[in-house]
Structure 1
């Protein structure tokens, strides 16, 4: 799927209209080749587009993502991060292909990771689902930096935000709702935090 949308157009449309959080549709899907237990660090993709934008909208989205990644134990790293983070804002209604999958946490808990050595008859297989996403979609993608493959997509559709402080609240809430679909903490992070809190 091509993700390129002119930055000015995406932001102009994202900042128009109104928003009702109860109407937002939150979905996610993941790659069976994602080695989610291995990931510890991340960095935002640089270049063109909203991910590299220095406007208020880009900063709000980056800050909201940083906050959530920190809560889940991920550390920012400029040098060889495990995950690359991409986020995009799409205008209008769009057709999108997702996948019917078991819960990501259950998949990770089973410890299975598919790669080129996994026999074809043992591979999970993807069951595509065609969806129509409502006006205004925020998409967050995590890419495995080693394989250069997307391993997780989370998206909120039906998201349009007004300018000003209310818009910032809506963007942060949307990021939080999307990451509620990615309940993966870095390995040992929760145990480490429990140990710290017991010492206080």
Structure 2
């Protein structure tokens, strides 16, 4: 009888040890350092819907053939999921915000651009792809190739003005060949935790 009485105690003890282990493991995960900047003239409270931009082929990355569809899909899905958690609604027809995301890759100095970069336009590198939107006046703007390799960048663009209004990034977190989906999600969650600026309620 004593054995039967002690068994639930031992089982509970094992579950407690497992829980402590899991909590300890999560606490050992390295923190992801995310940073953001924004246009102080933008009215973020009016942004309620979004659509993710489709990149245009540019052929100006270090390796245009290295585009990873799986990584692209993981980033796209995670960005959309986090924005929905923020209270934003997907809208492909008339979104308030356009969303662009990129990973900084090493640039090949032997490559020569076939197009001329217009001043004030953001050319973002994602294995041979780019987006075009206005960055003039955005505080501390840098082109994607100016970030450390592996930096994940998320840009929010006002769909009406085509101007960049918010940018968040996590430096050196992404390896296109090896990055696990969990790390991608953690990186994106850390970046978008800073949106909207000042925690403006929706």
TM-score where L is the length of structure 1: 0.56
- Cα deviation, residue 158, structure 1: 1.8
Q: Which has the higher contact order (CA 8 A, sep 6+)?
A: 1
Root mean square deviation, CA, Å: 3.3
Cα drift, residue 134 of structure 1: 3.8
Correspondence for 1:90 among 97, 104, 119: 104
- Hey, what does 2:46 align to over in structure 1? 38
Q: Contact 1:40–1:186 at 8 Å: present in 2 too?
A: no
CA separation of 1:21/1:128 partners in 2, compared to 1, >3 Å: closer, same or farther? farther
Unpaired segments of 5 or more residues in structure 1?
1-19, 94-124, 188-200
Count of residues in correspondence between the two structures: 133
Question: Using the alignment, how far apart are the partners of 1:127 and 1:86 within structure 2?
Answer: 18
Distance 1:25 1:129, change over 3 A: farther
Q: Aligned match of 2:80 in 43, 46, 66?
A: 66
Pairwise CA distance, 1:21: 6.6
CA displacement 1:61-87 (0-9 Å, x = unmatched): 111111111111100001110000000
After TM superposition, the runs of 4+ consecutive aligned structure 1 residues lying more than 6 A away are: none
Supply the distance in 1 between the matched residues of 2:98 and 2:201 (Cα, whole angstroms). 15
Partner in structure 2 of residue 11 of structure 1:
none
Q: Which runs of 5+ in 2 are unaligned?
A: 1-27, 58-66, 108-136
Q: TM-score, normalised by structure 2?
A: 0.56
From the two aligned structures, give the one with the greater strand fraction.
1
